[in-house]
Structure 1
């Protein structure tokens, strides 16, 4: 029997590559995205699409209804609204939108489809290294990514008795088309592996957690950042004089 999975934010970046890799690995993939997909695009062939804006409650509920009779092996909560504004001009509409799309929608999907998830299934939430640090302007984004880590643990506690695992992938800087213009040049320099991640590398981590090879990994975070989070930039600057 083909294993069916949901991937949110599947039209671009990490979500797109994960959807393609999952499809090529034999999964039946349902992609949720607010971007309208050209059905004739060969990149997306074999993927079932549900046009869904995760920041809109009724659209998420419609997606849940559409999948209500589908046995599911996995849910990958990848989509995110990257929002922020200067502190003195804090935008609470962006705050509400980020919480709805990045935090409430994943919870809504997992809860609404909880009876669809089969024993041995897996949920993977895509957090961010930004959720492990302070923010100046991107508070709505980083707050929701931090909360996703706690949500992962709570979901793991509740789904565990049903044989469904829940984990989070925490990427560092990733060379997606949407992120490249915003990646500081210094990130590759100070990452111990000497470069930023490629989307394929994050997708591989996601599919690992989805697989039976991770069958006893539950309620934890898999950091995929090349060692970036291990580095203190001020110490790096100080120690350069000795290198």
Structure 2
């Protein structure tokens, strides 16, 4: 590692968009510190992966401060170039069905908001000094379901993602004067394990491009927002959904 190597912290790194993002940044020479509720897998192909992995279940807010200390010990010179809040949970019923507000208990609401929203706000707070030192950036992964009712994503997931869009605006306003940009990426139907049976009907009826998105396409957008080319983009939410939002 050189003194100029950029460093990123990524939550929800073990699969899908998170996994593709780690590979994209690692290939570009970034050091990637991953955060996941799963232990590091030896199958992951990136350098120093296990030593730069912090195992944390974001539903447990009491463990977050200890995890942040583990992250800080891995930050050279107290600098953090990018914080990518990608972790997300979408509770389902016993048979994988959508849960509306009437079917979601208090624990389901709290666990979903802890992962999808509260951890994002707290990580920004705890890692503020390190982000300022690097004039870094925060990217929050929201969702198309934050702005429309979805046949598979339930009420807790949808409202947490809508709140995350609002939090992105608030953080952009609050951190912008300190040189830290905050943006969001709102994916649509991306080919990951979170998809439910029946998604092909959404592709046929609602997506002009008539295909699922690939995790690598979202990762490329994340990479752009961390580049100099995006240096004046702040408080934005970029839709990556093949035109589904139109």
- Tell whether the structures are fold-level matches, with TM greater than 0.5: yes
Q: Is the 8 A contact 2:54 2:71 kept in 1?
A: no
Q: Is the 8 A contact 2:189 2:195 kept in 1?
A: no
Query: Which whole-Å deviations, capped at 9, do the CAs of 1:127-157 have from their partners, x for residues lacking one?
Result: 0000011357711101010001010011001
Rounded to whole Å, the distance in 2 between the matches of 1:215 and 1:103 is 25
Q: Does 1:98 align with 2:112?
A: yes
Query: Which whole-Å deviations, capped at 9, do the CAs of 1:11-34 have from their partners, x for residues lacking one?
Result: 111001101111111111000000
CA RMSD of aligned residues (A): 1.6
Query: Which whole-Å deviations, capped at 9, do the CAs of 1:71-103 have from their partners, x for residues lacking one?
Result: 100100000111253444332210010111110
Q: Say how many residue pairs are matched.
A: 228
Rounded to whole Å, the distance in 1 between the matches of 2:100 and 2:232 is 43
Q: Is the 8 A contact 2:100 2:155 kept in 1?
A: no
The answer for the alignment partner of 2:15 in structure 1 is 12
Q: Secondary structure at the match of 2:238?
A: strand
Q: Is the 8 A contact 2:9 2:35 kept in 1?
A: yes
Rounded to whole Å, the distance in 2 between the matches of 1:228 and 1:148 is 20
Compared with structure 1, are the counterparts of its residues 57 and 186 closer, same or farther at alpha carbon in structure 2 (3 Å cutoff)?
Answer: same
Q: Does 1:74 align with 2:82?
A: yes
Q: Secondary structure at the match of 2:185?
A: strand
- Displacement of 1:58 in angstroms is 2.4
Rounded to whole Å, the distance in 2 between the matches of 1:165 and 1:116 is 13
After TM superposition, list the pairs within 5 Å mapping 1:151-230 onto structure 2.
151-176=167-192, 178-182=193-197, 184-190=199-205, 191-230=207-246
The answer for the alignment partner of 2:149 in structure 1 is 134
| TM-score (norm: length of structure 1) | 0.89
Q: Is the 8 A contact 1:119 1:162 kept in 2?
A: no
Gaps of 5+ in 2: 93-98
Compared with structure 1, are the counterparts of its residues 86 and 163 closer, same or farther at alpha carbon in structure 2 (3 Å cutoff)?
Answer: closer
Gaps of 5+ in 1: 231-243
| TM-score (norm: length of structure 2) | 0.87
Rounded to whole Å, the distance in 1 between the matches of 2:136 and 2:20 is 21
- Displacement of 1:36 in angstroms is 1.2
- Displacement of 1:45 in angstroms is 3.6
After TM superposition, list the pairs within 5 Å mapping 1:35-50 onto structure 2.
35-38=38-41, 40-47=42-49, 48-50=52-54
